[in-house]
Amino acid sequence: MRSELAACRRVVVKIGSSLLTNAGAGLDRDAVADWAGQIAALRARGVEVLVVSSGAIAEGMKRLAWTKRPRAVNQLQAAAAVGQMGLVQMWESCFAERGLHTAQVLLTHEDLGDRRRYLNARTTLKTLVSLGVVPVINENDTVVVDEIRFGDNDTLASLVTNLIEADALAILTDQKGLFSTDPRKDPSARLVERATAGDSALEAMAGGAGSEIGSGGMITKVLAARRAARSGAHTVIAWGREPDLLTRLFSGESIGSLLVADTPPVAARKQWLADHLKPAGHITLDAGAVKALVADRKSLLAIGATAVAGDFERGEVVSVHGPDGREIARGLVNYGAAETARILRKPTAEIEPILGYLAEPELIHRDNLVVL
């Protein structure tokens, strides 16, 4: 019995392309109708559900009579634009048959990187679920070039999980869950039934992308679980063809791999910082500054910074790295890149003589910094 999932009252369900399509031959209406039925059953039990749905590009490929996923960005965008019409229509009709309203929400990582737009998106989604509407969320692939090239819906689902402070994230895929090694290559591979989200050993177990239709692999799911855990959400990775999967999962039945969040949730403002996927630059620290930030929870002072990269302005989100190059934190910087470069390794008392002004004593104040 998984009490963590049985107690959930708000969940995000991410459904992969391979589960929504007939091996790439467009959308599978029977499958979508089944998911809608399970979600309706959860709603009847008082569980709020948000769906992150893949399948737009696969549906577009079918409508355009393409048999192989293209690599050219403009072709991917065209397929997404064509397929999004069919994807939304199908979800809407299947939910309508069960008396539920749906709403289409298209997001980009940039929407969640801007603090004001982040808050607006959260308010909209929370209002929709409070009204009994099931949001169907997708990445806005048709207009954002770098998202379609590098993004994936596992990452988007984890961002949405944090955004609306869900209790759990269910990532449904064509694999039984996370295995100790790749089960397609190693018959002795063991299913990881329970682990701690963020455990570095899980990333070593995860393999690459598994199909020609989707763009993510098991590694993106493990990283999504780590991200979701920052807001206190548990993640379950399970085979989507399991009968009545969602209703059984959220009744506490043990299916797939449960990656548990075992750390206190990050405060809302710092959660936004942690979820900022594309910092404007990065600052490298010495070992003493790393200790001050991580162990002592202090602000970042210029004297502990050794290098700066990127072209950022005051107030932008930057990544903070240790001397080994590993990212340890993110925060809102008080000085632009050019100014930061001039005050590296300098005590606070020397900032004003060097720059001609003192914006703030700290390079990044601890209230505007989150340790990862």
Q: What is the pLDDT of residues 54-69, one digit of tens each?
A: 888 889 998 999 988 8
Nearest CA among 286, 272, 276 for reference residue 324? 286
Q: What is the pLDDT of residues 102-129, one digit of tens each?
A: 999 999 877 887 888 888 999 999 999 9
User: Residue 12: phi, psi to the nearest 5?
Assistant: -110, 130
| CA–CA gap between residue 4 and residue 6 (Å, rounded) | 6
Give all domains of the chain, ordered by start, each with its CATH number: 3-270 (3.40.1160.10), 279-371 (2.30.130.10)
Distances (CA, A) of 190 to 11, 15, 181, 220, 345: 27, 23, 7, 19, 49
Q: What is the pLDDT of residues 222-272, one digit of tens each?
A: 999 999 999 999 999 999 999 999 999 999 999 999 999 987 888 777 888
| CA–CA gap between residue 6 and residue 249 (Å, rounded) | 8
Residue 245, class by beta-carbon neighbours within 10 Å (0-12 exposed, 13-18 middle, 19+ buried)? buried
Higher pLDDT, 26 or 299: 299
Spacing of C-alpha 146 from chain mean position = 16
Query: How much is the average pLDDT of 301-312?
Result: 96
356: number of CA atoms within 13 Å, CB side? Answer: 1
User: What predicted TM-score, i.e. pTM, was given to this entire model?
Assistant: 0.84
Beta strands in the chain (DSSP E): 10-15, 48-53, 102-107, 134-139, 168-173, 194-196, 234-239, 257-260, 281-285, 305-310, 317-321, 327-332, 369-371
Residue 207's pLDDT band (cuts 50, 70, 90): low
Distances (CA, A) of 322 to 101, 129, 292, 344: 48, 41, 12, 15
Query: How much is the average pLDDT of 308-317?
Result: 94
Amino acid identity of residue 29, one-letter, is R
Long-range pairs for 295-299: beta carbons < 8 A, 24 or more residues apart: 297/366, 297/371, 298/366, 299/362, 299/363, 299/364, 299/365, 299/366, 299/369
